Amino acid sequence: MAMEIVPATAALGAEIRGLDLSKPLSDADVEALKEAWSDHIVLLFRGQKLTDDDLIRFSRLFGTLDIAPASATDYAGAQEKSRPEIWIISNVVENGKPIGALGDKEAEWHTDMSYVAEPPMASVLYSLEIPSKGGDTSFANMYKAYEALPADLKRAVEGRIVNHDSSTTSVGELRAGAGAVTDVRLAPGAKHPMVRTHPVTGGRALYLGRRLNAYVEGLELDESERLLDALWAHCAKPEFSWTHKWRVGDLLIWDNRAAIHRRDGFDGNERRVMHRTQIKGDRPR
Ligand code: OGA
Ligand code: MN
C-alpha cells in the first residue's frame, strides 16, 4: 500500500497512512516522510504496534537520540529501569511509586527541553495505554504565530533573548536536583533568541519555551512579564493549533523548532502510559 498524507488542520499536522513502523522503511518512504514533516510540523501514525526498540529505530531515521530529561525525584528510580533514550510519561503508580513523569495534570504550552543549549529538534511520542477521555495533546504552529504577530509585538521580539527555565516540568513540578526559582531573572536554564530560523525550511518561528519562570533578557521585570503574557496569549489562539485525541497505538513526531504543545489533564483513576524519544538538535539561531 502506498503512503498517503492526510492534512489534519489548516494550522499544522498530518496523518500518514499506509506505513507499518515496526518494519524497515524504504529510502523513498523516509524521504517522503521528511518532506511531509517539513510541510506539516507534526505527523501522526495510527494503529502501530511497536516495541521500545522499534520506537528507537524509527526515531533514529530522523537523527541521533538524546537521553531522557530529568523528572521529579520520585520517578527517577522508575526511569533508571527503562532505556536511557526513552522517557516514560504516565500517571500509573506501582509499589507506591509513579512509573513515569507528568502524572494526570494539565501540561501547559511548552517546547521540550529548550532549557538546554542544544535542545532536541524533535520528539516522538507513542501511546501504550490511554484514558477513556481527557489527556488530549495540542500543537501550535510557531511560524504562523510569528507571521501573525501585531507589528508592536513583532518589533518587541526582534533581536531579543529569553531565558528558558530548567527547574520545572511542564506540569509545574520541580525536577530532581533543582531549587525553586524565587527571582526569574536568576532562573537556571538556557538563553535563546525569541525568534529562530529553522535550519531546514528557513522559516522564522517564535521560540519561547514555556511561560513559567521565563525572563526576557535586558528588560525590566514588569516589562518582561507583560511582553511574555501578551506573546503567550497570542500563541494560544485556536487558529494556530491542532488537538490530537489519542488512541492506543498512535505515534506522533513533532518538530520542536516550529511547534509548541500542551496536554489536557485527565481522571487520575484511569491509566495513561506513553513512551517518548527525543532527537538531537542544534543551537537555536
Ligand atoms: C511530551 C509531552 C504530552 C502528553 O511528550 O513532551 O509534553 O500528551 N507530552 O503526554
Ligand atoms: Mn512536552
DSSP 41: S
* pLDDT of 42: 99
Percentage of residues of the chain with pLDDT beyond 90: 89
Q: What confidence category does residue 77 fall into, taking pLDDT thresholds of 50, 70 and 90?
A: low
Q: 10 Å Cβ neighbour count for 234?
A: 16
138 bridge partner residues: 243, 262
Instruction: Compute the distance from residue 152 Cα to the ligand 1 centre, in Å.
Output: 32
The percentage of residues in the chain with a pLDDT greater than 70, rounded to a whole number, is 96
Ligand 1 atom closest to Cα of residue 135: 8
pLDDT of residue 121: 98
Stronger pLDDT, 139 or 169, i.e. the higher one? 139
Distance from Cα 124 to the centre of ligand 2, integer Å: 10
- Provide the 10 A C-beta neighbour count for residue 167: 18
Give the mean pLDDT of the chain.
95
Ligand 1 pocket by Cβ (under 6 Å): 89, 102, 107, 112, 123, 125, 137, 170, 261, 263, 274, 276
pLDDT in tens, 151-169: 999 999 999 999 999 999 9
Mean pLDDT of 41-61: 98
Q: Which three cell numbers stand for residue 139?
A: 500543537
Q: Considering the entire predicted model, what is its pTM?
A: 0.96
pLDDT at position 185 is 97
Range 185-202 average pLDDT: 98
Question: Within the chain, what is the greatest distance between any pair of CA atoms?
Answer: 58
User: What confidence score (pLDDT) does residue 81 get?
Assistant: 67
Rounded CA-CA distance 211/217 in Å is 14
What does the pLDDT average to over 73-95? 80
DSSP output for 204-270: EEE---BSTT-EETTS-HHHHHHHHHHHHHHHT-GGGEEEEPP-TT-EEEEETTTEEEEE----TTS
CATH number 3.60.130.10 given to 4-279: yes
Contact call for residues 272 and 266 (beta carbons, < 8 A): yes
In this prediction, residue 105 carries a pLDDT of: 96
User: What's the DSSP call for residue 106?
Assistant: P
* pLDDT above 90: residue 73: no
pLDDT band at 70 (very low <50, low <70, confident <90, very high): confident
What pLDDT is recorded for position 261?
A: 98
177 pLDDT exceeds 90?
no
CA of 136 to the centre of ligand 1 (A): 9
Mutation test of ligand 1: which of 124, 248, 263 has the most ligand atoms closer than 8 Å to its C-beta? 263
Ligand 1: centre distance to CA 264 (Å): 10
Torsion angle, alpha carbons of 126, 211, 159, 154, to 10: 100
Q: Which atom of ligand 1 is nearest to the CA of 102?
A: 10
* pLDDT tens, residue by residue, 225-254: 999 999 999 999 999 999 999 999 999 999
Distance 14 CA to ligand 1 centre (A): 18
Query: Are the CB atoms for 101 and 174 separated by under 8 Å?
Result: no
For a mutational test of ligand 1's pocket, the pick from 88, 113, 115, 137, i.e. the residue with the most ligand atoms closer than 8 A to its C-beta, is 137
Q: Is the pLDDT of residue 69 over 70?
A: yes
Band (59; pLDDT cuts 50, 70, 90): very high
Q: Pocket of ligand 1, candidates 55, 125, 245: which has the most ligand atoms within 8 Å of its Cβ, to mutate? A: 125
